[in-house]
């Protein structure tokens, strides 16, 4: 009888060993980011921020966070393919994609599969419109424009300015940001002396367009665009003898602004989602830790947004699972992120801190950015 019990016990152990048992409870999150193609440098930075958070989270929690990362090759088609793959894998949420043009194509698929998508970086208002499965942790173009418009008039006291706008079909960022900025700036009492549109053909010669604005005797020029266009606009303004301020939005927040504009970049500023110089303990800790983990590289907007996005998701794990996220995400209130406080509204948009950084020239001739404004979350 004793031998029989031993045999049964041994057989039971063998049968259990044949089953696929995960020795480590985990939750898998899907990530769609460009790792090749036009936007690859930015997607890789977002991923680095996500992975940095997970590295520290998993060291402290029993239920581990794991990633299923897909390269969308910087294209809408690649984004759709990646999303289908993640849906088949059964992930409960997808982080992505980097560019608004790529993220927006996921709207019908997110609804069809009832699979929430949360973007750290896509600012176009279109991304979250009329879709309960689309969310963002970054600000939208209209939100940023309103915050910046008020800041420029009420804090910087700039009374009269001109705006250069990219009017190409792929220039939705520029048009949307210019539109919301103008409305807020004028409502605050500012005067927009002239708006000048430009297309791709004009991008190599801004001199004539900038001259039109300068001739209206403005104090500043607003250029809601990306680099390297911003560098060209700054250079054109300085060559025309304009000594006023030239400024932009988060599209300016790249190291190339300081290295590719030469001495022309002085008296420039921009709004952004993150400031590595923000004198706030969690930010200092994040910057120092990220640099240690990434060979001294300082985190920028992309890494910080990736970090906060996965941190918000991690905070929604209940009983080892991620469930009902389309509801839970709209209940995120005043999340203390390294990019400032974040609240996600019922329409999927984020209400969050906006930072303003100015370019300063050092005695040795090099340039650095200085935090000159912290715009708290807008309340309506």
Shared domain for 214 and 107, answered yes or no, is: no
Place of tokens 């390294």: 338
State the Cα–Cα distance between residues 82 and 73, nearest whole angstrom: 10
CA-CA distances (angstroms) from residue 107 to 26, 57, 121, 348?
Answer: 27, 30, 16, 12
Contact of 355 with 270, CB cutoff 8 Å: no
DSSP secondary structure letters along 254-307: STHHHHHSGGGGTTEEEEES--TT---HHHHHHHHHHHHHTTTPPP-HHHHHHH
Q: Is residue 8 part of a domain?
A: no
CATH number of the domain residue 299 falls in? 3.40.50.2300
Q: Is residue 21 part of a domain?
A: no
Mean pLDDT (the chain, rounded): 91
Shared domain for 206 and 341, answered yes or no, is: no
The count of domains in the chain is: 2
- Which residue range is the domain that position 371 belongs to? 142-272+355-375
How many alpha carbons fall within 13 Å on the CB side of residue 216? 19
Mean pLDDT of 239-245: 94
Shared domain for 371 and 263, answered yes or no, is: yes
Q: Against a cut of 0.85, is the pTM above it?
A: yes
Q: Is residue 360 part of a domain?
A: yes
User: Residue 281 — pLDDT band, cuts 50, 70, 90?
Assistant: very high
The reported pLDDT for the residue numbered 158 is 98
Q: Is residue 5 part of a domain?
A: no
List the structure tokens of 287.
């910057």
Shared domain for 258 and 370, answered yes or no, is: yes
**CA angle, 134 then 140 then 141, to 5°:** 140
The reported pLDDT for the residue numbered 4 is 39
- Higher model confidence: residue 227 or residue 123? 123
Shared domain for 111 and 187, answered yes or no, is: no
Mean pLDDT of 203-232: 92
Closest CA to 158 of 129, 126, 185: 185
pLDDT in tens, 82-138: 999 999 999 999 999 999 999 999 999 999 999 999 999 999 999 999 999 999 999
Q: Is residue 3 part of a domain?
A: no
Shared domain for 102 and 181, answered yes or no, is: no
Shared domain for 80 and 118, answered yes or no, is: yes
Closest CA to 367 of 288, 278, 252, 216: 252
Shared domain for 318 and 365, answered yes or no, is: no
Q: Is residue 6 part of a domain?
A: no
**CA angle, 251 then 253 then 259, to 5°:** 115
Shared domain for 317 and 217, answered yes or no, is: no
Residue 216 has pLDDT above 90, yes or no: yes
Shared domain for 112 and 171, answered yes or no, is: no
Q: Is residue 80 part of a domain?
A: yes
Q: Is residue 264 part of a domain?
A: yes
Shared domain for 114 and 241, answered yes or no, is: no
Partner residues linked to 95 by β-bridges = 31, 118
User: Residue 378 — pLDDT band, cuts 50, 70, 90?
Assistant: confident
Shared domain for 39 and 146, answered yes or no, is: no
The reported pLDDT for the residue numbered 169 is 61
């Amino acid at each position: 009888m004793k031998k029989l019990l031993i045999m049964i016990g041994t057989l039971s152990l063998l049968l259990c060993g044949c089953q696929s048992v995960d020795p480590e409870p985990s939750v898998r999150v899907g990530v769609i980011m460009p790792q090749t193609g036009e936007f690859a440098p930015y997607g890789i930075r977002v991923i680095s921020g996500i992975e940095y958070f997970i590295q520290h989270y998993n060291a402290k929690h029993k239920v581990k966070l794991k990633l299923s990362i897909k390269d969308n090759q910087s294209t809408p088609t690649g984004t759709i393919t990646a999303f289908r793959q993640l849906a088949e894998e059964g992930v409960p949420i997808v982080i992505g994609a980097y560019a608004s043009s790529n993220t927006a194509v996921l709207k019908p698929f997110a609804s069809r599969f009832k699979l929430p998508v949360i973007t750290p970086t896509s600012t176009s208002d279109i991304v979250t419109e009329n879709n309960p499965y689309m969310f963002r942790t970054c600000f939208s173009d209209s939100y940023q424009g309103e915050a910046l418009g008020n800041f420029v008039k009420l804090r910087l006291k700039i009374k009269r300015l001109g705006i250069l706008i990219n009017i190409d079909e792929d220039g939705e960022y520029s048009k949307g940001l210019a539109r919301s900025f103008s409305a807020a700036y004028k409502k605050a009492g500012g005067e927009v002396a002239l708006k000048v549109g430009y297309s791709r053909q004009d991008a190599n010669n801004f001199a004539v367009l900038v001259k039109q604005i300068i001739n209206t005797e403005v104090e500043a020029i607003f250029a809601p665009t990306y680099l390297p266009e911003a560098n060209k606009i700054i250079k054109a303004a300085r060559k025309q003898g304009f000594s006023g301020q030239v400024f932009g939005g988060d599209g300016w927040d790249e190291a190339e602004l300081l290295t590719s504009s030469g001495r022309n970049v002085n008296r420039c500023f921009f709004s952004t989602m993150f400031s590595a110089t923000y004198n706030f303990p969690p930010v200092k800790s994040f910057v120092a830790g990220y640099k240690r983990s990434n060979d001294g590289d300082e985190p920028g907007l992309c890494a910080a947004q990736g970090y906060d996005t996965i941190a918000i998701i991690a905070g929604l794990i209940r009983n080892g699972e991620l469930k009902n996220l389309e509801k839970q995400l709209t209940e995120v209130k005043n999340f203390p992120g390294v990019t400032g406080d974040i609240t996600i509204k019922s329409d999927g948009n984020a209400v969050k801190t906006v930072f303003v950084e100015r370019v300063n020239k050092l005695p040795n001739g090099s340039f650095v950015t200085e935090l000159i404004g912290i715009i708290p979350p807008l309340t309506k």
